[in-house]
């Protein structure tokens, strides 16, 4: 039977010799063919027997598993081994070739998963948006190999999404795809060190100027609209209203007087409100740069009133007192009806910034209050705006808004020192506004 060294026998491999080859008690044992050099069988302590091929390629001995005995016959395995050795004789590395095939078959979904692993600090909302885009916009492309996504396919998909879901959604989807493919270009390299993608096919939208032109929303609350808006919001804030209704009213006022984004304000914790210092810390804003804002006298009193009737750790708790406030569509619709004009929450941020500009507050201070990044501005890098420097402009903006509020300022519910009754039970959260 040839060499009888344990774990390293040499015979002509046939079905009978494979059947007779014992399973090792531990580790693995090899049965090597005397007829075709490099062809063999490997048995492991787990009980499996698999055909292998071994060959020196580029100075290194490489071993490849051809398949399990039982799934392959000896004749089938020997034929595969011959094909493997034939490629090696031509200077081809079959394992590298196999890796290349796997690499070039990488799908959009697989690349997306790797993209998420690399982007460790994505905000929950961003992650949610990405997941929805994969599930909706690119559901039919999830199993498509990256190398098959062409520029013409991108252009057609962009048009189709624009027709079905609107220009903004189409642009958003393609920006997402561009990010994933840019990642793939850097992440997936072939054996020669070149990316499997020669270029990002989404570039066709730029080169052909096919991106939809979207007018940036510029709506604000104009000065002559402010009295009516305040009165409309105040219909949510009377002492007789439910706790949740009054919370929404205070939340809308707070957005206007701080210029914060809706999520930034909604997630404020009481532990980040400093009444002694008259400030509030925004821990996780959109640009990931923590912001400490000074509180005007009005805002301090507003929050103090809310503190007296707090029910959980959030300044603006959600319905039923759980978590933080999620965009309250029904209450906003009520305000819009009373206001007799449409508005969105981000209009309040734009109004805050517009008021600041009208008061000749410096651009650097406005950017600091709005927590905008000061990009490509060397001078801005030398200007440090601490909280005390921001306090005066914050008071000026707050006073302007109050002076523009009309009858609201004289309304008893304006005074934040007169809160309504603290809810005796969570059932009061379901009361009408």
pTM of the full structure: 0.61
Q: For residue range 252-298, what is the model confidence (pLDDT) as tens digits?
A: 999 999 999 999 999 999 999 999 999 999 988 877 778 899 999 99
Q: Judge if 55 and 139 occupy the same domain.
A: no
Whole-number pLDDT of residue 411:
57
Nearest alpha carbon to residue 405 among 205, 268, 253:
253
Q: What is the mean pLDDT of the chain?
A: 84
Where among 104, 121, 138 does a domain terminate? 104
Whether residues 193 and 60 share a domain: the answer is no
Question: Does 316 fall in a domain?
Answer: yes
The predicted-structure confidence for 335-356, as pLDDT tens digits, reads as follows 999 999 999 999 999 999 999 9
| Of the candidate ranges 55-69, 179-193, 212-226, 411-425, the one whose mean pLDDT is the lowest | 411-425
pLDDT attached to residue 57: 65
282 and 395 co-located in one domain: yes
Range(s) of the domain holding residue 42: 8-104
- Which CATH number goes with the domain that contains 353? 1.10.443.10
Q: Which of residues 207, 237, 253 is at a domain's end? A: 207
Q: Which pLDDT does position 87 carry in this prediction?
A: 75
Residue 92 pLDDT level (bands cut at 50, 70, 90): low
3 inside domain: no
Query: Are both 405 and 318 inside the same structural domain?
Result: yes
pLDDT > 90 in the chain, percent: 51
pLDDT(3) > 60: no
Q: Are residues 280 and 368 in the same domain?
A: yes
pLDDT of 417 > 50? The answer is no
What would the two tokens of residue 145 be? 């190999």
């Amino acid at each position: 039977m040839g060499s009888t060294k344990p774990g390293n026998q040499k015979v002509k491999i046939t079905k009978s010799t494979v059947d007779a080859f014992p399973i090792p008690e531990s580790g693995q044992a090899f049965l090597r063919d005397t007829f075709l050099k490099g062809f063999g069988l490997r048995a492991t302590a787990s009980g499996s027997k698999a055909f292998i091929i071994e060959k020196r390629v580029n100075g290194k001995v490489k071993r490849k598993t051809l398949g399990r005995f039982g799934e392959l016959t000896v004749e089938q395995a020997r034929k595969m081994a011959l094909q493997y050795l034939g490629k090696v004789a031509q200077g081809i590395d079959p394992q590298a070739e196999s890796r290349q095939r796997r690499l070039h078959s990488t799908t959009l979904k697989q690349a997306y998963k790797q993209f998420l692993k690399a982007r460790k600090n994505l905000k929950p909302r961003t992650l949610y948006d990405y997941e929805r885009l994969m599930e909706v916009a690119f559901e039919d492309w999830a199993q498509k190999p990256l190398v098959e996504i062409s520029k013409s396919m991108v252009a057609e998909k962009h048009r189709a999404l624009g027709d079905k879901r609107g220009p903004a959604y189409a642009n958003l989807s393609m920006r997402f795809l561009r990010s994933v493919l840019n990642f793939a270009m850097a992440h997936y390299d072939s054996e020669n060190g070149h990316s499997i993608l020669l270029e990002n096919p989404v570039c066709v939208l730029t080169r052909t100027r096919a991106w939809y032109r979207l007018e940036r929303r510029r709506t604000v609350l104009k000065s002559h609209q402010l009295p009516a808006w305040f009165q409309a919001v105040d219909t949510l804030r009377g002492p007789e209203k439910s706790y949740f209704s009054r919370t929404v009213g205070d939340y809308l006022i707070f957005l206007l007087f701080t210029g914060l984004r809706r999520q930034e304000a909604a997630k404020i914790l009481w532990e980040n409100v400093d009444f002694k210092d008259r400030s509030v810390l925004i821990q996780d804003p959109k640009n990931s740069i923590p912001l400490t804002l000074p509180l005007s006298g009005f805002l301090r009193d507003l929050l103090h009133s809310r503190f007296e009737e707090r029910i959980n750790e959030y300044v603006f708790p959600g319905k039923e007192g759980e978590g933080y406030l999620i965009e309250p569509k029904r209450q906003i619709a009520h305000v819009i009806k009373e206001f007799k004009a449409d508005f969105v929450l981000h209009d309040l941020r734009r109004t805050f910034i517009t008021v600041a500009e009208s008061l000749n507050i410096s651009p650097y201070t406005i950017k600091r209050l709005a927590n905008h990044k000061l990009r490509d501005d060397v001078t801005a890098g030398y200007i440090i705006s601490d909280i005390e420097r921001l306090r005066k402009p914050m008071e000026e903006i707050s006073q302007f808004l109050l002076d523009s509020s009309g009858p609201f300022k004289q309304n008893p519910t304006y005074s934040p020192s007169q809160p309504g009754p603290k809810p005796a039970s969570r059932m009061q959260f379901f009361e009408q506004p």
